[in-house]
Structure 1
Amino acid sequence: MNEINTKGKLVLGLQHILAMFGATVLVPFLTGLNPSVALLSAGLGTLIFHACTKKIVPVFLGSSFAFIGAISLVLRENGIAEVKGGVIAAGLVYVLVSQLVRIFGVEKVKSFFPPIVVGPTIVVIGLRLSPTALSMAGYSNGIFDTRSLIVSGTVVICMVLVSLLGKSFFKLVPILLSVVIGYLVAMALGMVDFTPIREASWIGFSPEAWTSLTTVPKFSLTSVLAIAPIAFVVFIEHIGDITTNGAVVGKDFFANPGISRTLLGDGMATVVAGLLGGPANTTYGENTGVLAVTKVYDPAILRIAACYAIVLSFIGKFGVILQTIPTPVMGGISVILFGMIASVGMRTLIEYKVDFSISRNLIIASLILVLGIGINNITIWRTVSLSGLAIAALVGVTLNKFFPEDR
């Protein structure tokens, strides 16, 4: 590799991490986890994924949005130790599914999670988070806080404009641009405290990050059941991402290295993220967007982006800057993001042409939506509880098999 190629790859690697940076740090901010640890988890997870997939799949792994509700709930009620245990369990679910796919084939495993189950479940994930988004945006007891509304409203408008009117690379970084603009507006309104930034060291982790890294994982049945089952839903998303990635690159990654290997890579990366105290990892659609824009498909560039993420995680002042982002800034992002998650579920139903004139489909979707949104948690035995999302998914999978389509 000559010097020009090296510089070009370094620049492209930086472009990739910029495209995925906003989404990667948004998840820990919303859940209460540490953003520096999330960056470290994403970087190490991407390198692990590449090692598991023969280094031929151009993918970057970042924080999964699907786990936001479950992780924030477990962190609030049970602490970081049980979050780590739940995320590790989610990674092991990925690993289990990868082996089932290797043995039985992907179609057999997918039959348990058809669009009529996955679509409404994704809708539930987004809608369950909507009250949190509005609360962060400044809404409480029927009114909006004026300063918070100005900041969150600016962020929402920026995201809309960049997403709809932006061109080439800028269209791929609406979250990052919106956070920067929202941060500047919040600064002008006196909502940013710079004291922690001045006091932070340049190199090293903050005390909060060290707490996350050094806490021993704890496996409780309640936390595992709250977090781990979500991996079954994200498994379908993973297949879609790898399919799209292969279509853009012009290679069949189902044939080589195989979907079982990509799932294994996702699983092992999530296990490591759990050990560190980061959120569960997943393949990023923004990554595929950057590939389509640059037309450069070298997986080594994604590994360079991973190294950037690892280096950034060790810069102490950078991590503290992320923690000083005012809540309304992320609230504005969340209003659109959580709505988009629900919309993805609806898009799944539309793309697969699910027929709601069939009573079977109508009943399954109805039960998933009502149970998933209406139930917070149900105690099933002593201190063991199930979230509404887990109950809804379980009911959906069961009914789908109990009432087959040909009946």
Structure 2
Amino acid sequence: MFRTPLLGAQMLLVAFGATTLVPLLTGISPNLALLGAGVGTLIFQLCTKRQIPIYLGSSFAFIGPIILGAQQFGMPATLSGLMAAGVVFLIVSAIVRLRGVQVIERFLPPVVVGPVIMVIGLGLAPVAVNMALGKTGDGAAQLVPQNVALVLSLASLVTTIAISIFAKGMLKLMPIMCGVLVGYALALFYGVVDFSGVEAAAWLAMPEFVHPEFNWQAILFIAPIGLIVTIEHFGDILAISNVTGKNFVEKPGIHRSLMGDGLATMAAASFGGPPVVSYGEVTGAVSLLKTYNPVIMTWTACFAIALAFIGKTGALLLSIPVPVMGGIMCLLFGAIAAVGLKTLIDKQVDINEPRNLVIVSVTLVFGIGGMVLQWGDFSLQGVGLCGIVAILLNQVLPQAKHD
């Protein structure tokens, strides 16, 4: 009787660290992230006729754009960009339904996707290092003494690495949570944790909703990332299909799962949460536990929604010192960049070909160097600019002719 709810709670534990990491890094309320993940998962299940055992969580691909977008346009405008990324999912879903999966490969081949993913990871490397040193993300202020910050960040980083490499079973699926716990324990020892917010927070509280404000610049800045994340989505659906032995690409159909991710992202962004997409950690847990019942994910979503209304949940998460998060970010952002590099390697993209070299080089330099295209009050930069430039170069440059 209680087996399915208990498995649902365990799935939330697996995904909890990664789900709440994104809001902690971007300034979004952790309670809103939990609410968005829960509501998004239920929407996904509705779109896919509750056939796929997947839980939706905060997407790492949007960390950089959210941070930069909030600095340039403000969070309400950034949320409009996140909703537009959800619309991109819906557009891709419609195209896949009408034309088949092959049309995506034409516009988003590995030579486009790889460098854009690398930019997502490497673009925020200075932020990770500043936080690991106890500073604000922009390095303007020292929040924790540097000698203490280095101890905390390195402890978090080393723990996360050790768990991901050496741990066995369920523990191996929770490296981020373990890293945070070790860093937090050390922070308590050094006395750099501020509990005033936790004491002031109510046990039961309505999350502080933030509503989007329409902004064209923010939309063009963030929306193209939706195209890149759709590629990750294909990989996630193939992975869960292999684990369960069912072809979810065909039934209920990848167009349905894309629609689920898109509507879920739009719903989460509509009240201030980060974009939510299918989660690799949960797929690993499904594989390990051999639990293929999608109803388990319904319980996971319900537990996430319930936690969102406990005020002290978000306050406790916000009390985590900056260096603890910075240490984990040093690994996380590098890992995202490595995924982009792996995309180029796995698909055997020949960088010796001038065409491929141009696409990869221009995309990386524009993204990491901070290139900005500006017309009057309108500007385009960051991952949004990189994605558009990479797609245009791929379409314009002639294919190499081989004998």
TM bucket by the smaller chain?
over 0.9
Report how far residue 359 of structure 1 moved. 2.0
> Which residue identity does 1:365 align to in structure 2?
V
Report how far residue 251 of structure 1 moved. 0.6
TM-score (norm 1): 0.94
CA distance in 1, matches of 2:120, 2:345: 18
| SS of equivalent residue, structure 1 residue 20 | helix
Aligned residues: 395
Between the aligned residues of both structures, percent identity stands at 45
* 1:247 aligned onto 2:242: yes
2:111 is matched with which residue? 116
> Which residue identity does 2:179 align to in structure 1?
S
TM-score (norm 2): 0.95
| SS of equivalent residue, structure 1 residue 386 | strand
Q: Unpaired runs of 5+ in structure 2?
A: none
Q: Is the 8 A contact 1:378 1:388 kept in 2?
A: no
| SS of equivalent residue, structure 1 residue 405 | coil
CA distance in 2, matches of 1:245, 1:221: 36
Cα distance change of structure 1 residues 58 and 147 upon mapping to structure 2, 3 Å threshold: same
Report how far residue 80 of structure 1 moved. 2.3
Q: Could you list the per-position Cα deviations for residues 346-384 of structure 1 after superposition, in whole angstroms to 9, with x for gaps in the alignment?
A: 1111111112222221221111111111125332x2222
2:158 is matched with which residue? 157
| SS of equivalent residue, structure 2 residue 236 | helix
Report how far residue 391 of structure 1 moved. 2.1
2:146 is matched with which residue? 145
| SS of equivalent residue, structure 1 residue 282 | strand
Q: Unpaired runs of 5+ in structure 1?
A: none
Q: Is the 8 A contact 1:110 1:236 kept in 2?
A: no
Among residues 291, 296, 304, which one is paired with 2:291 in the alignment?
296
Q: Is the 8 A contact 2:134 2:322 kept in 1?
A: no
* 1:393 aligned onto 2:387: yes
> Which residue identity does 2:94 align to in structure 1?
Q
Report how far residue 76 of structure 1 moved. 2.2
Q: Is the 8 A contact 1:373 1:389 kept in 2?
A: no
Cα distance change of structure 1 residues 361 and 77 upon mapping to structure 2, 3 Å threshold: closer
CA distance in 2, matches of 1:33, 1:316: 14
1:265-280 matches, within 5 Å, as 265-280=260-275
Q: Could you list the per-position Cα deviations for residues 147-170 of structure 1 after superposition, in whole angstroms to 9, with x for gaps in the alignment?
A: 111100000110111011100100
CA distance in 2, matches of 1:312, 1:146: 35
CA distance in 2, matches of 1:388, 1:298: 40
> Which residue identity does 1:21 align to in structure 2?
F
CA distance in 2, matches of 1:100, 1:310: 32
1:377-388 matches, within 5 Å, as 377-379=372-374, 381-388=375-382
1:8-407 matches, within 5 Å, as 8-138=3-133, 145-205=146-206, 209-210=207-208, 213=209, 215-379=210-374, 381-407=375-401
CA distance in 1, matches of 2:197, 2:366: 43
Q: Could you list the per-position Cα deviations for residues 36-61 of structure 1 after superposition, in whole angstroms to 9, with x for gaps in the alignment?
A: 00000000000000000010011111
CA distance in 1, matches of 2:393, 2:373: 20
Q: Is the 8 A contact 2:65 2:382 kept in 1?
A: no
